[in-house]
Amino acid sequence: MTWWTRALKSVISFDDGQRLDLFRIFPAFRRFLAARHHYALLRTGADILFVLVLISGFFGPQDARRNIAVFLTWGILWPGIVLSWFFVGRMWCGICPFPGLGVFLQSRGWTFSMKVPRLLQKYGVYIAVFLLALIIWFETVTGLNEWPAGTSYLVLSIVSGAAVMAIFFQGQSWCRHLCPLGRISGAAATISITEFRADYDKCRGCKSVACKKGSDKRRGCPVYLGAVSVQNNLHCLVCGHCLPLCDRDSPQFLLRNPYNELIRNAGRYKTCTYTVPFLIGSQIARFMREKPIYNQALDYFALPDSLLFSLLLGICIFIVLVVISLGKKLFGVVDNDPIVGNLSPMVPILIPMAFTGELVYRLAHFAEGIGDFIPTIGRQFGLPILEKLSFAIPVFPVQVLSAFFMMNGSIAGGYILWRYCLGPFEGFVDLKNFVIIHLLLGGALVSYLLVIF
């Protein structure tokens, strides 16, 4: 059997035993991640991009059409990160420049290196989701994606938060508990086509746990997991720190069915439970804000944009929460069941649409601005000849592609529902409820299509 046949089988198989280890198929990829100087080069590249955004945002022209900082951040970097979720999970977090200052301070010994308090471990998810909501709200109502200095202030505030956490606590505690981009990336990584896992048979009997604790010469896992502790895609940064530390060749980079993890957790992940309603609600609200009817409503009600958008956002999130609650009842799930715990199976069904919706929203911004990016470089650095390289991507093909993506997200949700009814919820969902859940999923798709076109 050829490797690509095995790869296809890994992606469509229900059986986790069919997962293909890409480290075995492409050993050069494993060597690349294990060689820390390669990792350092990637981090350096990300740091240079980060510094470029900061300098350009603070000291460059404040007209978005004359400053590359805004499109680099919102038009290229952010869509690229969103796209990476579907293929390599949280791997971007492994080279993210935001914790760089904190890592530097720790390397100089400027840290108390305290253990993260249980209170932060327990409630960090709520703070992170709140910060994510604040960023998206602020981005929308202030036009942050058109404000160079504002973009740099946002980036600098995240770096500052990570640095303060690094001064007090061990490792990259900001990335593990509070980073809003890390939280959304972790939730999205649950539908990644790959996963980083240990071969637990090889780990059996290991006493050093070097992948987690590190060694005399190398620091351990930056989010104090180690390959041996990774059970899902929520927290692992896929940074490769554990590869040179493990003397048992245990870490694997597996190609998998992207929905098996969602089906197993059945809505237990708090990160997903709180992120998904906000994401879907905010996407619908953000798309609606770009429609003529929104401007008409502004004039009719004579409300500030920030207030009207906040009301619209609240209504959309509330509707999504109602859909999730109704779906939960249709599955026959009881809150805080003493046997199975607190499940919310409608959340995994909506997850593919939630993160596909974010991809669609970001790609629309990319398509709108990419044709003017090179001319923007010319305007900022006095190269008018670059104006000749301007082009425009028609709106309708982008809308069609967006609709295609959203339909695939809806089909993925239907697939998860089908797998639920064949597995963990077999016999619990009758035909009537099965049809109603499909109608709820279809309603979500129609809502997206109405605001996209």
Q: Rounded to whole angstroms, how far apart are CA atoms 156 and 15?
A: 44
Mean pLDDT, rounded, for 33-55: 87
Q: Which long-range contacts (CB under 8 A, 24 or more apart) does 158-164 make?
A: 158/98, 159/50, 159/97, 159/98, 159/100, 159/101, 162/98, 162/99, 162/101, 162/102, 163/101, 163/102, 163/105, 164/102
Distances (CA, A) of 63 to 74, 149, 379, 411: 15, 10, 10, 42
d(CA 87, CA 437): 28
- The more confidently predicted of residues 452 and 15 is 452
Helix, strand, coil percentages (3-state) for the chain, rounded to 5, are 70, 5, 25
Report for 26-30, 200-204, 312-316, 422-426: range of highest mean pLDDT:
312-316
402-453 pLDDT, tens digit per residue, is 999 999 999 999 999 999 998 888 888 899 999 999 999 999 999 999 999 8
pLDDT at 337 over 70: no
| CA–CA gap between residue 165 and residue 223 (Å, rounded) | 12
Amino acid at 263: I
Distance (Å, whole) CA 319 – CA 322: 5
Mean pLDDT of 40-65: 91
Q: Per-residue confidence at 211, pLDDT binned at 50, 70, 90?
A: very high
Average pLDDT along the chain: 91
Cα 264 to Cα 267: distance, rounded to the nearest angstrom: 9
105 within 8 A of 167, measured Cβ to Cβ: yes
Q: What is the rounded CA–CA span in Å between residue 196 and residue 228?
A: 10
Residue 341 has pLDDT above 60, yes or no: no
Local structure of 252: helix, strand or coil: strand
The predicted-structure confidence for 151-208, as pLDDT tens digits, reads as follows: 999 999 999 999 999 999 999 999 999 999 999 999 999 999 999 999 999 999 898 8
Band of pLDDT at residue 380, cut at 50, 70 and 90 = very high
The model's pLDDT over 81-124, given as tens digits with 9 standing for 90+, comes to 999 999 999 999 988 999 989 999 998 999 999 999 999 999 99
Length of the chain: 453
Task: Work out the average pLDDT over 356-374.
Answer: 95
- In a 3-state reduction of DSSP, which class is residue 333? coil
3-state secondary structure of 86: helix
Which pLDDT score is estimated for 340? 47
pLDDT at 290 over 60: yes
Single-letter amino acid, residue 105:
L
Cβ 200 vs Cβ 230: under 8 Å:
no
The backbone torsions φ and ψ at residue 246, rounded to the nearest 5 degrees and listed phi first, read: -85, 120
